[in-house]
Amino acid sequence: MTDSESTRIREFAARLTGADSSAWAATFAQVPRHHFVPSFYTMTGDGWKEVKNGDPEYLDGVYADTALTTQTDDKGIPNSSSSEPSLMLAMLDALNVQPGNSVFELGTGTGYNAALLCARLGDENVVSVDVDDELVGAARDRLARLGYSPTLAAGDGAAGYPGKAPYDRLIATARLRFIPRAFLEQSADGAVMVVPLGFGVARLTVTGTTEAHGHFMPLPAHFMPRRVESMAPRFAELETQEARPTTVNVADVLERLSFPMSLAMPDYTSCTWVDDDGTPSALGLWTGDGSTATATMTGKVRQIGPRRLWDELEQLAITFQDADGVSREDFGVTVTPNGQRVWYGAENGPSWALPAE
Ligand SMILES: C[S@@+](CC[C@H](N)C(=O)[O-])C[C@H]1O[C@@H](n2cnc3c(N)ncnc32)[C@H](O)[C@@H]1O
């Protein structure tokens, strides 16, 4: 490692962990992010540009507190990244690891988070799974070059990794739509789980292997979704549907209700159409089961599919009509053998069922 790299890492870890006394401070100073992110992509007017180690802007980029896109799919949509370091730290802090704890991670990505876990807990206690076998191979090499050999596997992390269960701690670094049943089954009694759900991160404690209860952390989080089969929006079919009026302020919706929407419709995607002068004219909304809705800024709604997404949104608008702002900490998650729900305010408050697996 060059002197300039060592200085960067020390300064980066101090900046990241300085204000609080995180038990992870020494670990962030020890594990070089640049080793796991030898290049990343930035969006320019001409599309994605790769920034490589050695490029003038590389070290500033890799030691900034930002998420870095490390891979895109064939449509140019990012499908792997090194997460924002302060968010990684907050999630690791929330995991509250104790010496000797075993940890399962969904989403190996670059291997950086797995390396931090290995440095803290020993690689015999770390298991990490990514759906992309090439990423797993690259992460394995990078980890090995620093002397770490956790258990890595390629596959859907929602199935956990039964071979090394039970786990004391479980962390996901891809956005989930529900708590995978395997996470509970492979948890030790009292295990702690820190998982992105919707546009937030939930911290749950497991009781036995069938129940978990927890709250959302205050921080916003926009993780890339766990990769699953999903349907494209059905905008063309909507053209033939009769429009109905809506009283919900379309412009306000995505802004104010985006977090509760991300829980009530955990895999929703949205888009906006704009006029020639750049003024938004309509909003599109869809979920992976093919449910699709559009609403014009003048309040005309069309919807199709198994779920009536705009009807659900109108219900949310009623539930949150008196809330000035929506705080993530006011939401919680309850998992029982009968199902999973996210709730607002209290377990018996307004709640939304999470989809079954
Ligand atoms: C934000 S990145 C992970 C960052 C990683 N923890 C790191 O430190 O670099 C999210 C990762 O989740 C992975 N992923 C998406 N769907 C998955 C699934 N079903 N099972 C396991 N991993 C998945 C992606 O391939 C991607 O690498």
Question: How far, in Å, CA of 189 to CA of 168, rounded?
Answer: 8
Mean pLDDT across the stretch 181-186?
A: 96
Distance 108 CA to ligand 1 centre (A): 5
Question: How far, in Å, CA of 65 to CA of 19, rounded?
Answer: 14
> Ligand 1 test: best mutation among 81, 95, 103, 130, most atoms within 8 Å of CB?
130
Distance 53 CA to ligand 1 centre (A): 22
pLDDT at 91 over 80: yes
Q: Is the bond preceding residue 166 a cis peptide, omega within 30 degrees?
A: yes
Considering only CA atoms, which residue is closest to atom 17 of ligand 1? 226
Distance 173 CA to ligand 1 centre (A): 6
- Cβ–ligand 1 distance for 139 under 6 Å, the answer no
The catalytic position among 80, 81, 82, 83 is: 83
Q: Return the SS3 of 225.
A: strand
Active site residue 83: yes
For residue 76, what pLDDT band results from cuts at 50, 70 and 90?
confident
For residue 322, what pLDDT band results from cuts at 50, 70 and 90?
confident
> Ligand 1 test: best mutation among 40, 88, 104, 227, most atoms within 8 Å of CB?
227
Residue 354 neighbours by CB under 8 Å, 6+ apart: 177, 178, 179, 197, 263, 266, 333, 339, 340, 341, 342
- Partners of 266 in the beta sheet? none
- Cβ–ligand 1 distance for 173 under 6 Å, the answer yes
In the chain, the DSSP E strands lie at: 39-44, 47-52, 68-72, 78-82, 103-106, 126-130, 151-154, 167-172, 187-197, 200-207, 211-216, 244-245, 269-274, 280-286, 292-296, 300-304, 331-336, 339-344, 351-353
Q: So what's the pLDDT on residue 355?
A: 84
Q: So what's the pLDDT on residue 20?
A: 62
For residue 281, what pLDDT band results from cuts at 50, 70 and 90?
very high
User: In terms of C-beta density within 10 A (0-12 exposed, 13-18 middle, 19 or more buried), how is residue 150 classed?
Assistant: buried
Mean pLDDT across the stretch 58-74?
A: 93
Mean pLDDT across the stretch 171-195?
A: 95
Note the Cα 64 to chain centre separation in Å: 19
